Amino acid sequence: MAHAFSHIPRSALPELLRRAPKAELHIHIEGSLEPERIFALAHRNGLTLPYASVDALRAAYAFTDLQSFLDIYYAGASVLLTEQDFFDMAWDYFLRAAADHVVHAELFFDPQTHTERGVPIAHVIQGLHRACVQAQAQLGIDASLILCFLRHLSEDAAFEVLEQALPWRHLFIGVGLDSSERGHPPEKFARVFARCAEQGLRCVAHAGEEGPPAYITSALDVLKVQRIDHGVRCTDDPALVQRLAQERMPLTVCPLSNVKLCVFKTLAEHNLPQLLEAGLCVTVNSDDPAYFGGYLNDNLLQLVDALPQLGPQQAWQLLANSFEASFVAPEQKAAWRAELDALFDAAARDAAAGLQA
Ligand code: HPA
Ligand code: ZN
């Protein structure tokens, strides 16, 4: 088979991962707000934060579960008011993504977090969109937006924000489902997801992060999603793992997030190698990088460092999966795959030459 990279030395892996083209498919743009930016925006908007300093805020980032994180995440996002604020937040992310050789990013945003505070949805979408356009023009990053519904709120509230967003339908490619998972099963949003599918929107949902495997099944069967965000708890149900493998249903896994939110105790105990081994289309992503201690390359590098089962072959697979699972045209996927393969092929040739010398 053409793509055999297992003889690339492990020592070459960090540099290879850093330099490789990659797609990021699970990043909440509000989760990229660094404490410094939160304080700067609070100052610009004349708001007072309940934290004395950047360090005091960062010190509060000690989470015990998803909800303990969400409380701080929504508080952080409350400094965003103007179109420029949303632009600045996304631009900060794109600069970091470019440094990580991210060539494609699909950004989640949570409009209800902002519209509930009286921020017009136009400010949210137009600011983020302007940053996406500039990312393409100045950084060569292809970026698109996915509107997420907050699952702790009602389906009526989701319908309401969808109506507000439809005038900007051309500026986002899909919808997702995030926030507090337990007690808020995908079925709660069956009608609004059906409406989104009619609009030609792509559908994804967080499922099986803290919630049971049954939520993954209902995201697939009721919401008819095309990707599962997180999904790591599928291993509690072997038949579901088999189904996900058979359907090549992508899972957007977020290793550092999972450790920070106590889904796994350590990276060394993460089940990602097991998922890859089972033939699932697993991708690696940063989720909320400003809160979880790292951007995309940090996730990839720390993961392979912690898990000896993940060698060059698996690293290549994870990046190839990121393109396979992306919402872009087949020709674009093929072009990025060719770039990725060329880089790994060159490393494999270097390894072979080294062995002969
Ligand atoms: N899970 C659910 N909701 C979220 C997350 C997450 O990891 N990050 C931001 N909103
Ligand atoms: Zn997430």
Closest ligand 1 atom number to CA of residue 73: 9
Q: What is the pLDDT along the chain (357 residues), one digit of tens a residue?
A: 457 898 999 999 999 999 999 999 999 999 999 999 999 999 999 999 999 999 999 999 999 999 999 999 999 999 999 999 999 999 999 999 999 999 999 999 999 999 999 999 999 999 999 999 999 999 999 999 999 999 999 999 999 999 999 999 999 999 999 999 999 999 999 999 999 999 999 999 999 999 999 999 999 999 999 999 999 999 999 999 999 999 999 999 999 999 999 999 999 999 999 999 999 999 999 999 999 999 999 999 999 999 999 999 999 999 999 999 999 999 999 999 999 999 999 999 999 888 765
Ligand nearest to the CA of 29: 1
Cβ of 179 closer than 6 Å to ligand 1, yes or no, is yes
Q: State the CATH class of domain 21-352.
A: alpha beta
What is the distance in A from the centroid of ligand 1 to the CA of 93?
17
What is the distance in A from the centroid of ligand 2 to the CA of 287?
5
> pTM surpassing 0.85?
yes
Radius of gyration of the chain (CA): 20
pLDDT, position 3 = 76
pLDDT, position 31 = 98
pLDDT, position 356 = 67
Q: Which amino acid is at 263?
A: V
**Which residues are identified as catalytic?**
209
pLDDT tens digits along 324-350: 999 999 999 999 999 999 999 999 999
- Specify the 3-state DSSP secondary structure of 74: helix
Per the listing, tokens 């994180």 go with 69
Q: What angle do CA 163, 166, 169 make, to 5 degrees?
A: 155
How many angstroms separate the CA atoms of 276 and 309, rounded? 10
Cβ of 229 closer than 6 Å to ligand 1, yes or no, is no
C-beta separation of 205 from 192 below 8 A: no
pLDDT, position 2 = 57
Q: How many residues does the chain have?
A: 357
What is the distance in A from the centroid of ligand 2 to the CA of 195?
23
Ligand nearest to the CA of 179: 1
Residue with CA nearest ligand 1 atom 7: 287
Per the listing, tokens 């550092």 go with 256
pLDDT tens digits along 148-196: 999 999 999 999 999 999 999 999 999 999 999 999 999 999 999 999 9
For residue 284, the surrounding DSSP H or E stretch is strand 282-284
From residue 183, how far is each of 90, 159, 175 by CA, in Å? 31, 20, 20
pLDDT, position 309 = 97
